[in-house]
Amino acid sequence: MTEVTKQQAKLLGYKNIKSWGFNVSKQLLIYTRAQAVNSQRHREWSVKAGDNYAFAKDVNSMPLTGVEFVAAASEYPIVFAGEPGKIMPLVVMGVRDQENLYIDADGKLDAQYVPAFLRRYPFVFSSQDDGKNFTLCIDETFDGCNQDNVGERLFDAEGEKTQYLNSVLEFLKEYQLHFTRTQAFCKKLEELELLEPMGAQFTPAGSDQKITLTGFSAINRQKLKALPAQELEQLVKNDGMELIFLHLQSLRNFNVMLGKVGVEEPSAEQEDAVVVE
């Protein structure tokens, strides 16, 4: 069995996202050795899941799907990033490269909601044909992977998928479905020209040097209000308006997040003097 590498396959949920210091290659690196799940190679394998997220402690942002906005918006800043035509939402978890302010030194997550990005680990779908076919992969370096029958087995004695593995497959299929729907939502935001470049400026405790985060976007309130009634009605009907309001409300979490690094009066503002309230 040939190992599935980043050069051979795109791990879905990450491709085409580039941003302001959100190191996407680092996001990919949480999967140190993503190997296609196989009944011969993994016949005796089990997975012991837990609540230790040390594998993501150097990741300062994570992709988010629209269905997660309700749960995530109360704890994380939600922004948009990516190249034109490939914009996707992200939750911001750190203000510097290789920094995650939500995961402590012991791998514990300082938040109630766990993004699906984390929950699906050590599993991930890969595709070698731009999403026409998917392969279930597992990061074999995950600490919970073992051949000692600890946790949930992947295959039974006859080499058939266990109920656990089938549930993993269903979870990832659902994740991919929501990812596709979120792409459509973001394309609509681009069509309506609602996204504006945004920057967050702060001064770390014990320093007189300001740090400015740029390269991501937020929805411009004034442009939203100026939309034709027909477009506003459509956003309400397809639940896009709810996602917009959740996104705007979540930006207040920049203050909470920056408070973790001792910033007393952080500010978030859009470029060209467009303020995010």
* 147, part of any domain: yes
* 256, part of any domain: yes
* 181, part of any domain: yes
Q: At what angle do helices 240-250 and 229-237 cross, to 10 degrees?
A: 90
User: Which range, of 45-49, 98-102, 140-144, 146-150, averages the lowest pLDDT?
Assistant: 98-102
* 277, part of any domain: no
What pLDDT band is residue 127 in, cutting at 50, 70 and 90?
A: confident
* 3, part of any domain: no
Whether residue 5 has pLDDT greater than 60: no
Q: What is the DSSP letter of 178?
A: H
What pLDDT band is residue 270 in, cutting at 50, 70 and 90?
A: very low
What pLDDT band is residue 19 in, cutting at 50, 70 and 90?
A: very low
Whether residue 78 has pLDDT greater than 90: yes
Share of the chain above pLDDT 70, in %: 82
pLDDT score at 199: 79
Note if the pTM is more than 0.85: no
Provide mean pLDDT across the span 21-33.
60
What pLDDT band is residue 29 in, cutting at 50, 70 and 90?
A: low
271 or 147, which is more confident: 147
* 56, part of any domain: yes
For the chain, what is the mean pLDDT? 84
Q: Length of the chain, please?
A: 277
Q: Is 237 exposed, middle or buried (0-12, 13-18, 19+ CB in 10 A)?
A: exposed
pLDDT score at 263: 62
Whether residue 201 has pLDDT greater than 50: yes
Whether residue 216 has pLDDT greater than 50: yes
pLDDT score at 264: 52
Backbone angles phi, psi at 184, to 5 degrees: -65, -40
* 275, part of any domain: no
How far apart CA 130 and CA 198 sit, in angstroms, is 31
What pLDDT band is residue 99 in, cutting at 50, 70 and 90?
A: confident
Sort residue 151 into left (φ over 0), alpha (ψ -120 to 50) or beta: left
List residues bridging with 46 in a β-sheet. 146, 153
Domain containing 125: what range?
A: 10-270
Q: How many domains does the chain have?
A: 1
* 60, part of any domain: yes
